[in-house]
Every structure is written in C-alpha cells, then in structure tokens.
Amino acid sequence: MLTLPLTIIQIIQKGENSMNKKTVKDIDIKNKKVLVRCDFNVPYDENRKITDNRRIVAALPTIQYLIENHCRVILCSHLGRPKGEVKPEFSLDIVAEELSKLLGQEVKIAKDVVGEDAQKLANNLKEGEVMLLENVRYETGEEKNEEALSEKFASLAEIFVNDAFGTAHRAHSSTTGVASYLPAVSGFLIEKELNFLGTALENPERPFVAILGGKKVSDKIGVINSLLEKVDTLMIGGAMAYTFFKSMGYSVGNSICEDDKLDLAKELMEKAKAKGIKFMLPVDTKVGKEFAADTKSKNVKYTEIPDGWEGFDIGPETIKMYSEELKNAKTVVWNGPLGLFEFDQFAVGTNEIAKTLANVDAVKIIGGGDSAAAVEKAGLAEKFTHISTGGGASLEFLEGKKLPGIEALQNK
C-alpha cells in the first residue's frame, strides 16, 4: 500500500483557504426540499447501457447526506448535447435506473425538466425520497442562462446545491442562474475538487511537477503561463510538442503544428528559462505514416522527424527522462495524454508515465478529460490521489480563471 505524504484529511485541511464557499454542512438543510445540480453526463453504448458510472458514484456522498438529513432531493443534470430539443436518446432515464440501484431506493424521473410532471413529482416528494428531472439541456434557455428558466428551477426547491464540477465553468440556468433565487452551497464533490486542485496550486509540497499533453499550445496558453508561476518543472507531451520543435527551427513532417503560435512557443520557453523553471520537451518521438491504429511506425530523435511522417507519441528516451524526473516529485498535476492513446501502439508514453507515477510517493492529481480516461484505461486510477471529474473546469481552474458555477455559491 502506497503511503502518501499528505493524507486526504491533511489535504482538505491544507486546502481550506482555497475553499471559502459554504457546503451542505454549513447551512440548515434538515427536512428541506433541495435541488442538486449533478454531472451525470456519462458515456453509454448503442443499447443505452452506461459504460462508466464514475460520475454517478462521485455524486453519492452528497445525495446520501441529504437523504440522511430527511431532505426531499431533486436532482438535475445534462446528458450529451440535445441542443434545446427533446430527444429520447439523451434521456436521463438510464441514470435514474443506475442511481436507484446504487442508492438502494427508487429514484423517480420526471417526464419533463420544469414542467407539469416535474412540479407534480416535486410537490409529492416525501422526506428521504429522491427524484431526477429530465435532461436540463432539453430546455432552450438552459445554456443561455435565461432568467425565466432559472426561476422555474428555483420554484421546485428551498435550497440549491451545486455538485457538478464538470460544468462549473459554464454560466447556465441550472449551474448559476438558479443560485440567484435560492440559498446556494456546494456539495462534497465540488468541495473535494477545490481542495485538491486549490492545495496543489496554492500550497504544494515540492518539487512540484506539471505534465501537460494534448493537441494544441493555444488550448493551454493560460495554463502554461499560470503554472510557470508555480511549478518547479513543466513537462510537455502530446501533439503540442511539435509546435515547440518547429519554433526551434526543426522540421516536424506532417505532425500537428500551430504555425501561428511559433513565436508564442518561443516566448513560453524563454519565460521558463528566466524564471529558472525546468521546461522539458521530448527528446525523441514515435512517428507514424498515417492516422491509423495499424500504421507503420518508428522512433526518431526530435530533431530528425522525416518528411511525410507524423508524430504520435513520446519516444523511449523521453519516457526514461520524464520518469527519472518524476521519481523525486512530491506534487504532480497531469492534464492531457502524451500521445494518441486511443491507438495502442501510440499509448506507450502515456501508459509508461502513468505506471511510473503509480509508484511515486507524491500527491498526484489528474486534471480530468483524456488524461483521466487514459489512467482509467491503464487500470491505475486507484494509484492516484485525485482524478478530477471536470476536464474543462479543471483546466480553467489551473489557469487561475474564476468558475461561474463556483462564484455563484455563498461564501463562508
């Protein structure tokens, strides 16, 4: 069993400054009717069977706390992108079914979002009972944060609890609008996310290493700039590495490259140098002939990417170099895979770094999205201190941006 330098309790205590928002424990919720915004945007197959229920499981502590306090619990969430239309393939009925199993009690689903059926079910709820509204994105006003819709959400309950970190960076009716009409606090999942991510940024145990992957430098400019104020080492992987290579004057073949960001890539490297931060780029790369799972591939130095080939993964020398650096880390934040992990032959870099980290004695935080999926796929999730439930939200949080869904909650 891995002994972490910080236990979860210590992290939460250390992160108190980062979480100055009230939680369900800070207000009187006993016997109240409570509307809870969850993130039940789960993947499912063509037979509408849920393939990964982690987001539902993550919401259970808050829901169970409300049940224990005799609340009448009204849950809401989005699923997919129905774009303001009622589409059966985006119905939350599959979530209600899964929740009923996990909670060991029936979770009724309304036939609409804030209409007649939702109102009727909410009015008839007894203490300790749970219901689920239909997909909030069936309503055209949801993503526009329309006041009329926010008021209708508020009319269902006496208290609003936001526990959907994955949508906290969106100002929608069910995440921020409703908070203008009801006492609004966070659930345990948002509290946990802010404590882990907040402590990593505000009060990290050092050395503090950040690993950034993904396609584009432009997607991560804010994050890189923000992390360069905080980390000791910044490691770059994924397709965005090729923009840095080209900015240094090397050919990148057919690799993804943002030609309009070459000056920016140079500036970021210069900024790191000026601040004395170790800025690590791959020293070799695995290239393929075409974008296909079974394409011909080979490892080459980063200075020798041949014409007609495309970079899809970090190479063995880079894996070795990054692994050595990570062995001394005490805090690690990782956002974005280091290669095209969907194809097995280009998942090696991501998997090997995940395996290295699994055995490092440090606080290890995965910033949601594809990097979380990669760690799950590698079967190593339980070896990490925290895996964020919100890719986009955690990215904006790391960037230092204010998240509307968090800002709308009451301060302690």
- Sequence length of the chain is 412
**Is the CB of residue 349 less than 8 Å from the CB of residue 326?**
no
Of the candidates 369, 390, 391, 405, the residue annotated as catalytic is 369
Q: Clarify whether 369 is annotated catalytic.
A: yes
Rounded CA separation 51/69 (Å): 31
Q: Which two tokens stand for residue 351?
A: 């998997």
**Is the CB of residue 135 less than 8 Å from the CB of residue 91?**
yes
Rounded CA separation 6/126 (Å): 41
Q: Clarify whether 249 is annotated catalytic.
A: no
Indicate the burial class of 192 (C-beta count within 10 angstroms; 0-12, 13-18, 19 or more).
Answer: buried
In 60-213, DSSP assigns E strands to 72-76, 107-109, 130-132, 159-162, 184-186, 208-212
Q: Clarify whether 177 is annotated catalytic.
A: no
- Distant-in-sequence, close-in-space partners of 13: CB < 8 Å, separation ≥ 6: none
Cβ of 52: how many Cβ atoms within 10 Å? 12
Of the candidates 128, 222, 392, 400, the residue annotated as catalytic is 392
Parallel, antiparallel, or unpaired for β 208-212 and 278-280?
Answer: unpaired
Rounded CA separation 376/393 (Å): 19
Q: Clarify whether 192 is annotated catalytic.
A: no
**Is the CB of residue 278 less than 8 Å from the CB of residue 233?**
yes
258 to each of 171, 232, 245, 306, how far by Cα in Å?
Answer: 30, 26, 11, 18
Parallel, antiparallel, or unpaired for β 107-109 and 130-132?
Answer: parallel
Of the candidates 55, 152, 192, 215, the residue annotated as catalytic is 55
Of the candidates 216, 271, 355, 383, the residue annotated as catalytic is 216
Q: What are the backbone dihedrals phi and psi of residue 213, each rounded to the nearest 5 degrees, phi first?
A: -125, -160
DSSP letters, 33-66, are EEEEE------B-TT--BS--HHHHHHHHHHHHH
Q: Which two tokens stand for residue 185?
A: 């606090």
Point out the residues that are catalytic: 55, 216, 369, 392
